[in-house]
């Protein structure tokens, strides 16, 4: 298997989402994605990028002296070389997470990797891309994320949590308001009113630096 990776950016920032929010993290953003979610904030990663070999990636990651590494996209699993990258990062002792759309099979992902997997809501425009069989491959270290655009998305997400008993299968179920589409306050109040066993989250990095690459 080739170790060549097409990468949009490698950068050091604070984790803006998931249950390690606020932790200094190195992000490796792979280029390319088969989805076109209407709220996507990383469309600049759909094309372009620079070819790195695995050693180049590891050298740059090491330069930041961080404990956490997140491999993201685009959709990182669209590149076959993502799998050996994830395993090698784990071998080096990093706490590794993978941000994935849930549209590509995650079964082959190294079991040491923390999977942060989306279930696409109706408002995403990509509902039919959900590969719900992926839920079978999640463990108690993993997380499932719902990006919620409106009340319909919220009700759909709530039903999926119940259908799959997600709060018993993964470490955290993440409900996130779609930026500039869904009121964060409204979503928080719905969660409280329904006594949901989920983690509400907002995108910390956007509050600090806005919506721009490299943060």
pLDDT in tens, 174-189: 999 998 899 999 999 9
* 41 appears as a binding residue in the annotation: yes
Q: Say which CATH number the domain at 26 has.
A: 3.20.20.70
Give the span between the Cα atoms of 16 and 215, in whole angstroms: 9
DSSP-based three-state secondary structure for 183: coil
pLDDT in tens, 91-138: 999 999 999 999 999 999 999 999 999 999 999 999 999 999 999 999
* 90 appears as a binding residue in the annotation: no
Q: How far is CA 54 from CA 4, 97, 100, 202, in A?
A: 6, 17, 20, 32
Residue pair 151/43 in contact (Cβ under 8 Å)? The answer is no
Nearest in space to 96 (alpha carbons), one of 134, 58, 51: 58
Give domain status of residue 214, yes or no: no
* 199 appears as a binding residue in the annotation: no
**What is the rounded average pLDDT of the residues 147-164?**
98
* 82 appears as a binding residue in the annotation: no
User: Is residue 77 over pLDDT 60?
Assistant: yes
* 181 appears as a binding residue in the annotation: no
Nearest in space to 160 (alpha carbons), one of 138, 145, 139, 142: 145
CA 171 distance to own-chain centroid: 14
DSSP-based three-state secondary structure for 212: coil
Range of the domain at 17: 5-209
* Other beta carbons less than 10 A from residue 68's beta carbon: 18
Structure tokens at 44: 């600049």
Give domain status of residue 110, yes or no: yes
Give domain status of residue 215, yes or no: no
* 195 appears as a binding residue in the annotation: no
């Amino acid at each position: 298997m080739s170790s060549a990776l097409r990468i949009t950016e490698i950068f050091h920032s604070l984790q803006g989402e998931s249950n390690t929010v606020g932790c200094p993290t190195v992000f490796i953003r792979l280029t390319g994605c088969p989805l076109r979610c209407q709220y996507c904030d990383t469309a600049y990663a759909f094309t372009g990028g620079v070819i790195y070999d695995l050693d180049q990636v590891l050298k740059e990651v090491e330069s930041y002296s961080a404990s956490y590494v997140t491999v993201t996209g685009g959709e990182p699993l669209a590149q076959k070389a993502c799998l050996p990258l994830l395993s090698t990062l784990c071998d080096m002792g990093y706490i590794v997470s993978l941000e994935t759309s849930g549209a590509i099979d995650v079964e082959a992902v190294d079991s040491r990797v923390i999977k942060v997997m989306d279930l696409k809501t109706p408002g995403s425009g990509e509902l039919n891309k959900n590969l719900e069989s992926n839920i079978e491959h999640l463990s108690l270290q993993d997380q499932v994320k719902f990006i919620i655009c409106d009340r319909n998305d919220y009700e759909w997400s709530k039903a999926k949590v119940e259908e799959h008993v997600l709060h018993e299968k993964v470490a955290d179920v993440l409900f996130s308001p779609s930026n500039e589409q869904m009121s964060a306050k409204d979503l928080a109040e719905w969660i409280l009113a329904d006594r949901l066993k989920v983690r509400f989250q907002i995108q910390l990095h956007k509050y600090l630096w806005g919506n721009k690459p490299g943060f």
